[in-house]
Amino acid sequence: MTPWAEAREAARELGDRLWPATGRPVALDRAVGAVLARDLTALVGVPPFDAAAMDGYAVAGPGPRWRVVGRVLAGGRAAEKTEGVGRAERAEAGGEGELPGGGAGGLSAADSGSHPVPGLPTSDPVPGPMPDPVLRPGEAVEIATGAPVPAGTDAVLPYEHATAARGEVAGEIALGRHVRRAGEDTAPGATVLPAGSAVTPAVVGLAASLGHDTLTVRRPRIAALVTGDEIAATGRPGAGQVRDAIGPMLPALAASAGAELTGLRHIGDGFDTMVEALASAAGPVDVVVVCGASSKGPADHLRAALARIGATVVVDGVSCRPGHPQLLAHLGTPEDPGTVVVGLPGNPNAALAAAVTLLAPLLRAMAGAPDPDAALPPTIRVKGAIRPHAHDTRLVAVRVMGGQAEPVGHDRPGSLRGPALADAYAVIPPGWSGPYAPLVWLPRG
Ligand SMILES: Nc1nc2c(c(=O)[nH]1)N[C@H]1C(S)=C(S)[C@@H](COP(=O)(O)OP(=O)(O)OC[C@H]3O[C@@H](n4cnc5c(N)ncnc54)[C@H](O)[C@@H]3O)O[C@H]1N2
Ligand code: MOO
């Protein structure tokens, strides 16, 4: 029997050794909350091309007047100017007036003399990337924020600072102003976040802007075997049957520790069944959770089956109540531990206690997930009388209110009623005389 705190430490230590195996690509919308297994690098630069930062005119040459020769929309849609010189002329009351800088005037919108930029289409807007137009000194194209600026662009003149009329636009520019240069925020190939970073919504958005569809995150995969001839998977249990109360907890228990339950199988009692189920579950996952069969009864084959398949048992029972028959083993070598097996006792509250003791610390270490208990004070006052166990740590379901913990009762090994009412387990060491004890939060999902 391993002491409770030591057992948790052993689980964490094993998880730390195993995490490199847990990196896997996950779709962006499922990656939030996980931790990056690899550095995040830019598949494309940001911006990916030279782009306008303002709606207005891309201009070539110092100005202060330019001939408007076309229009470019975001996405590279290029449109020949078909009416007037664009929005500035329509928006500005003075659009009909003389252009600053001694505008020539005289040209009507219809005969503005605009000519196609080389490569720019001359008919209606066409979809697709802009076919590499070049702006010559003295020319301008009307441009939308985010649209690729033509080669030769010296600046973008925002509508607000432009006066446009008769096919021309005028204004003051500073060289390079309002043009976002390709890669000026992030160069292609740059590392933008190190492995170990938490994936937040902003990280997911950033990854998308860098061209990623998936992120490689630390997300251990778990398969569960729920054992027992008497266990009913659904509905009201029949005579002599017990409804499975552990399987339904496992997806959330896994997720709250940064892992994913990928399969759950109900199996009957039987040594051969256990050996076959362990061997076939282990292949594709990082962790196999076995519920029940952990004790000393005639149908409790977990330890014998592990011995048969050559597993190494790391924690063989934990001196805590409930949950003492729980177990931690692995199927590989000390250098390469391979798939881990966690045995949760069949009594549901014992299974939950074991999940908090061995499973969650193991998974959090594998997933790089934070320990929710880290923010707790070292101990908290426990109200009421609790009888300590003679030699085991007791895990007592408590509600936490006003900085104190109050036992909720109903927390026998076979009952989840207490934990369902509770926020945490108070960790009561053998020989405890109160009133202060550490807490461990119950997973909340
Ligand atoms: N001679 C001894 N007997 C037992 C000991 C012991 O030290 N010596 N320990 C007891 C403790 S403590 C626990 S906890 C249980 C652990 O038993 P197992 O892990 O072998 O589980 P089972 O025997 O299959 O079942 C025990 C109990 O739990 C019910 N059960 C099982 N699975 C589920 C499930 N998925 N959902 C709901 N209930 C479940 C099962 O019907 C039994 O009532 O061993 C004690 N015995
Ligand atoms: O300790 Mo068992 O694990 O209490 O029901």
Q: Are 241 and 231 within 8 A, CB to CB? A: yes
Upper half-sphere CA count for residue 192 (Cβ side, 13 Å)? 26
Q: For residue 116, is it within any domain?
A: yes
**Residue at a domain's end among 180, 207, 240:** 180
Same domain, 266 and 324: yes
Does residue 292 line the site of ligand 2, with CB under 6 A?
A: no
Best probe residue, ligand 2, of 300, 319, 324 (max atoms within 8 Å of C-beta): 324
Share of the chain above pLDDT 70, in %: 87
Q: Using CA positions, which residue lies closest to atom 31 of ligand 1?
A: 346
Q: For residue 33, is it within any domain?
A: no
Query: 438 C-alpha to center of ligand 2: Å?
Result: 20
Q: For residue 32, is it within any domain?
A: no
Same domain, 329 and 261: yes
Best probe residue, ligand 1, of 241, 274, 295 (max atoms within 8 Å of C-beta): 295
Same domain, 242 and 336: yes
Q: What is the pLDDT of residues 381-402, one digit of tens each?
A: 999 889 999 999 999 999 999 9
51 pLDDT above the threshold of 70: yes
Atom nearest to 414 CA in ligand 1 = 28
Share of the chain above pLDDT 90, in %: 81
**Residue at a domain's end among 317, 346, 370:** 370
Same domain, 55 and 173: yes
82: left (phi over 0), alpha (psi -120 to 50) or beta: alpha
Its ipTM equals 0.98
Instruction: Provide φ and ψ at 217, rounded to 5°.
Output: -120, 165
Starting from the CA of residue 291, give the closest ligand.
1
Query: 424 C-alpha to center of ligand 2: Å?
Result: 17
- Average of per-residue pLDDT across 333-340: 93
Q: For residue 35, is it within any domain?
A: no
Domain that holds residue 208: 40-47+183-216
* Confidence class for position 61, pLDDT limits 50, 70, 90: very high
Mean pLDDT is lowest, of 117-121, 148-152, 344-348, for 117-121
Same domain, 365 and 425: no
**Residue at a domain's end among 125, 158, 180:** 180
Cis, bond preceding 64 (omega within 30 deg of 0):
yes
Q: For residue 252, is it within any domain?
A: yes
Same domain, 244 and 339: yes
∠115-121-126 over CA atoms, to 5°? Answer: 140
pLDDT at 126: 31
* Confidence class for position 78, pLDDT limits 50, 70, 90: low
Q: What is the pLDDT of residues 108-142, one digit of tens each?
A: 222 333 333 333 333 333 333 344 478 999 999 99
Same domain, 264 and 321: yes
Query: 346 C-alpha to center of ligand 1: Å?
Result: 4
- Domain CATH code at residue 84: 2.170.190.11
* Confidence class for position 87, pLDDT limits 50, 70, 90: very low
∠124-130-133 over CA atoms, to 5°? Answer: 100
Same domain, 232 and 146: no
Cβ atoms within 10 Å, residue 118: 13
Q: Are 27 and 214 within 8 A, CB to CB? A: yes
Q: Name, in order, each residue with C-beta under 8 angstroms of 146's C-beta and a sequence gap of 6 or more.
A: 51, 52, 74
Does residue 348 line the site of ligand 2, with CB under 6 A?
A: no
pLDDT at 227: 97
Q: What is the pLDDT of residues 355-384, one digit of tens each?
A: 999 999 999 999 999 999 998 899 999 998
Structure tokens at 367: 């997933």
- Number of structural domains (the chain) is 4
DSSP string spanning 252-304? HHHHHTT-EEEEEEEE-S-HHHHHHHHHHHHTT-SEEEEES--SSSTT--HHH
**Cross-strand bridge partners of residue 424:** 398, 441
* Confidence class for position 324, pLDDT limits 50, 70, 90: very high
Q: For residue 381, is it within any domain?
A: yes
pLDDT at 26: 96
- Average of per-residue pLDDT across 341-354: 98
- Average of per-residue pLDDT across 411-420: 95
434 pLDDT above the threshold of 90: no
First and final C-alpha spacing in the chain: 30
* Confidence class for position 71, pLDDT limits 50, 70, 90: confident
Same domain, 238 and 359: yes
Q: For residue 30, is it within any domain?
A: no
Q: Which of 21, 6, 10 is nearest to 313 (CA)?
A: 10
Q: What is the pLDDT of residues 229-279, one digit of tens each?
A: 999 999 999 999 999 999 999 999 999 999 999 999 999 999 999 999 999
341 pLDDT above the threshold of 50: yes
Q: For residue 405, is it within any domain?
A: yes
Same domain, 244 and 283: yes
Query: 280 C-alpha to center of ligand 2: Å?
Result: 28
Question: What is the Cα gyration radius of the chain?
Answer: 34
Mean pLDDT is lowest, of 122-131, 146-155, 250-259, 289-298, for 122-131
Average pLDDT value over all residues in the chain: 88
| pTM (2 d.p.) | 0.84
Same domain, 103 and 126: yes
Same domain, 61 and 103: yes
∠51-55-56 over CA atoms, to 5°? Answer: 100
pLDDT at 179: 96
* Confidence class for position 205, pLDDT limits 50, 70, 90: very high
Find the residues whose C-beta lies inside 6 A of ligand 1. Answer: 226, 228, 230-231, 242, 244-246, 291-297, 300, 322, 324-325, 345-348, 350, 413
* Confidence class for position 347, pLDDT limits 50, 70, 90: very high
C-alpha distance from residue 26 to each of 30, 37, 194, 212, 234 (Å): 6, 11, 17, 11, 31
Return the amino acid letter for 163: T
Does residue 322 line the site of ligand 2, with CB under 6 A?
A: yes
Query: 256 C-alpha to center of ligand 1: Å?
Result: 25
- Domain CATH code at residue 393: 2.40.340
Structure tokens at 236: 């009201």
